[in-house]
Amino acid sequence: MKASYNWLKECCDFQMQAHGLAEKLGNVGLNVETFEPVGADWRLDVEVTSNRPDCLSHLGLAREIAALTGTSAKRPPLGPDAGGEQSFDDLSSVEVAAPDLCPHYTARLIRGVRIRESPEWMRNRLEVCGIHPINNVVDITNYVMLECGQPLHAFDFHLLEGGRIVVRRSRPGEIIVTIDGGEHELTGKECVIADASRPVALAGVMGGAQSEIRHNTTDVLLEAARFEPTNIRRTSRRHLLASESSYRFERGIDPEITDWASRRACQLIAELAGGAVVAGVGAVRADETLTPELTLRLARLAMLLGIEVPREVTLRIFRGLGLEALGESADGIILRVPSWRGDLRREVDLIEEVARIYGYDKIKETTEMPVRPTAPAKEERVGRRARRLISGAGFNEVLTRSLIRPTPVQLAQPWHAGQPLQVRNPTTSERTHLRLTCMANLLRIKRFNQMHGNKRVDIYEIGAVYLPREDEKLPHEKECLTLLTDRDEGLRALKGILANLMDELGVEGDLRETPESIGPFQAGEALALHLGDDLLGCVGTLDAEIARDYDLAGRPALMELDFDLLARRAQLVRPARAVPPYPATSRDLAIVVAEDVLWADVEACVLASADETLESIEPFDVYRGDPIPAGHKSIAFSLTFRRADATLTSEEAEQARQTILDALRDELNAELR
């Protein structure tokens, strides 16, 4: 924002030289990059942050200066509304067909103007602010924009077909030639200002050449409106058009300045171009401005800043910024937030304003600020334990991007059967979709390490995947734990990590493994993991074809788990259990079963047939080969028995073992090896 020093002095009565003003503005967060003399004036190039669009005007900067100096900003007075026999409704009309893109539109008509050069004082001020003067009417629209922050646009009324204004969405294929001479084909997503048959301006971005003010213009239709910022930003980017107007509309303008700016510009046109303002206004508004009331607690102010700010100083700061004090008490101040300060929504925002204007340099380096520590949430504690365990097992944590290039691996995952969501405005051509799995990213890291000489990696990531939901714009974000290892017997290693993790987190439940390839895995070398009735994830060895696509030397093992499910089931505080007073006894069994019988089947059968003396069951060996028949395998496991009320006898243990063996023989055709 290029500002005129002399103009600022008109808006606020302060006694500072340009260099002093530049320093003061910098101290309150409005950094002045340069200040330089321009004729009898000074140009200040002020850097305005995106959350302060109110400072993109001289009145906005004047309010900041007023808060700093204890004075007040002055808005130029307006004369009475125009009168006459004819009214705006007799000559023109305004229709807003897209109120979501244009919530407020006003149009006024000025007749009998004479287009000529602007007066010297106006030309000088525009040039100081970096705007080239054109003619008196166009210069006035720019002048008022720089004064109050509201962009305006002037149309030659006789070049508007039907003499009417229609604010609507563009139609695909429509063509508009803007005032810079560029020809643009519209897509149907832009907001345009149209007459009875054609678009005459890209709303909020740039006017059209067909209706611009010319040397022979006599009647002017003056537009002052407010447009939806996101649509203006997209239109500007789509057509590579940027203007002072679009810069302000993209950031949001004061919703209550629109009509004032229109009247102010009409007044100047009447004075400097000799026109007569037609009575009435064509106005359409679809919203209303809410100005919240906030209470500032003085004790809270002192606690957060660590210093006492006098009440009268606090009130002076808010008066300068334009906040109205609605009431005071011994404890605090009730304030109404003005329409131009959309960034003030909480008490802490008010406290920041006091600190900013009062001076951060007045806050001591060491203060006695009370701090109340809060315990981390359960999800955070679960994450810490998981990271500590997995890192302790030799794995390195990685962080990868959520935006990816769609690959076959994205579809080879357990969570969603559809396509990954495409983002509307991708940052690069390589990152256009939201990931459905983290496994593809870990494979890219594996390839990167391999290319740089590190052939074996053990890595993991805890991150979100984004799953599409029907009839909803936003995806479901699922937190996943994904691991990749190049270790020998990698699938077994990952299963061991899972067992240790469930033990560390206190996750209880029936963990079932079923041979199923719901990931980028080699057929016959993958498992689906279920925790009770819920899908926990998948684990397996990478498919050979995918390994070739990634140019990998080997086939690593991968596992992806629903970390949200683990966090929900985690019991970080274990209930205490009494130490059993009676000893346990163990019995080992080795059975021969058909190859298609799973350990889960064996475990379920044992648990269903055993009595209350069975304490645990643990597998420890699987064998295939002589003398085991072809198509069969041997599974060895240990059974632990214990009674809670007495010492278990050998006969009771043997009886419990035999009951289990009989059930295995009947249900699974198992034979004792």
For 562, phi and psi rounded to 5 degrees? Answer: -80, 95
End-to-end CA distance of the chain: 87
Looking at the structure, tell me whether residues 321 and 464 fall in a common domain.
Answer: no
Question: Which residues are bridge partners to 327 per DSSP?
Answer: 334
Alpha-carbon distances, residue 58 vs 42, 323, 571, 620 (angstroms): 14, 18, 60, 80
- Which of 153, 156, 164 has the alpha carbon at shortest distance from 91? 164
Looking at the structure, tell me whether residues 61 and 209 fall in a common domain.
Answer: no
Alpha-carbon distances, residue 185 vs 165, 195, 202, 229 (angstroms): 21, 17, 11, 21
The domain that contains 134 carries what CATH number? 3.50.40.10
81: in domain = no
Pairing label, strands 164-169, 152-156 = unpaired
Cα separation, 517 vs 77, whole angstroms? 76
Looking at the structure, tell me whether residues 240 and 305 fall in a common domain.
Answer: no
Cα separation, 396 vs 384, whole angstroms? 14
486 three-state secondary structure: coil
Domain boundary among 362, 389, 411: 362
Strand positions, DSSP E, 350-426: 396-397, 403-404
The domain that contains 433 carries what CATH number? 3.30.930.10
Looking at the structure, tell me whether residues 351 and 388 fall in a common domain.
Answer: no
Whether the CB-CB separation of 232 and 251 falls below 8 Å is answered with: no
78: in domain = no
Looking at the structure, tell me whether residues 41 and 108 fall in a common domain.
Answer: no
The domain that contains 609 carries what CATH number? 3.30.70.380
- Neighbouring residues of 585: CB distance < 8 A, sequence distance ≥ 6: 640, 641, 642, 648, 650, 653
Over its C-alpha atoms, the chain yields an Rg (Å, rounded) of 37
Looking at the structure, tell me whether residues 534 and 625 fall in a common domain.
Answer: no
Domain boundary among 285, 301, 324: 285
Task: Identify the domain containing residue 479 by its residue range.
Answer: 378-569
pLDDT computed for residue 367 by the predictor: 63
75: in domain = no
147-179 pLDDT tens trace: 999 999 999 999 999 999 999 999 999 999 999
82: in domain = no
Looking at the structure, tell me whether residues 522 and 611 fall in a common domain.
Answer: no
Which two structure tokens, joined as six digits, stand for 502? 């469930």
Question: Which residues are bridge partners to 194 per DSSP?
Answer: 166, 199
Cα separation, 442 vs 558, whole angstroms? 9
Q: Which residues of the chain have pLDDT under 70?
A: 367-372
83: in domain = no
Looking at the structure, tell me whether residues 430 and 466 fall in a common domain.
Answer: yes
Three-state secondary structure readout of 226-265: ECCHHHHHHHHHHCCCCCHHHHHHHHCCCCCCHHHHHHHH
- Neighbouring residues of 575: CB distance < 8 A, sequence distance ≥ 6: none
pTM (global) more than 0.85: no
373: in domain = no
Burial letters for 186-201: b for 16+ Cβ neighbours within 10 Å, e otherwise?
A: bbeebbbbbbeebbbb
Q: Which stretch of DSSP H or E encloses residue 430?
A: none
Q: Which residue has the tokens 């017997």?
A: 489
Looking at the structure, tell me whether residues 317 and 247 fall in a common domain.
Answer: no
Looking at the structure, tell me whether residues 164 and 208 fall in a common domain.
Answer: yes
Cα separation, 663 vs 569, whole angstroms? 32
Q: Which residue has the tokens 């990698």?
A: 490
Pairing label, strands 93-96, 164-169 = parallel
- Angle of helix 18-27 relative to helix 58-69, nearest 10 degrees, comes to 80
Q: Helices (H) and strands (E) in the chain — how many of each?
A: 20, 31
- 3-state helix, strand, coil split of the chain in percent (to 5) is 35, 25, 40
Looking at the structure, tell me whether residues 269 and 402 fall in a common domain.
Answer: no
Counting the structural domains of the chain, the total is 5
- Which of 287, 223, 280, 293 has the alpha carbon at shortest distance from 255? 287
257: in domain = yes
Chain Cα centroid distance, residue 90? 48
Question: Which residues are bridge partners to 73 per DSSP?
Answer: 12
pLDDT computed for residue 424 by the predictor: 82
The domain that contains 337 carries what CATH number? 3.30.56.10
Which two structure tokens, joined as six digits, stand for 132? 């080239």
368: in domain = no
- Neighbouring residues of 104: CB distance < 8 A, sequence distance ≥ 6: 225, 226, 255, 258, 283, 284, 285, 286, 287
DSSP label of 520: S
Whether the CB-CB separation of 223 and 105 falls below 8 Å is answered with: yes
Alpha-carbon distances, residue 590 vs 55, 159, 610, 616 (angstroms): 81, 96, 17, 16
Domain boundary among 285, 311, 339: 285
- Which of 77, 59, 64 has the alpha carbon at shortest distance from 11? 59
Looking at the structure, tell me whether residues 314 and 272 fall in a common domain.
Answer: no
- Neighbouring residues of 124: CB distance < 8 A, sequence distance ≥ 6: 39, 41
Burial letters for 590-606: b for 16+ Cβ neighbours within 10 Å, e otherwise?
A: ebbbeeebbeeebbebb
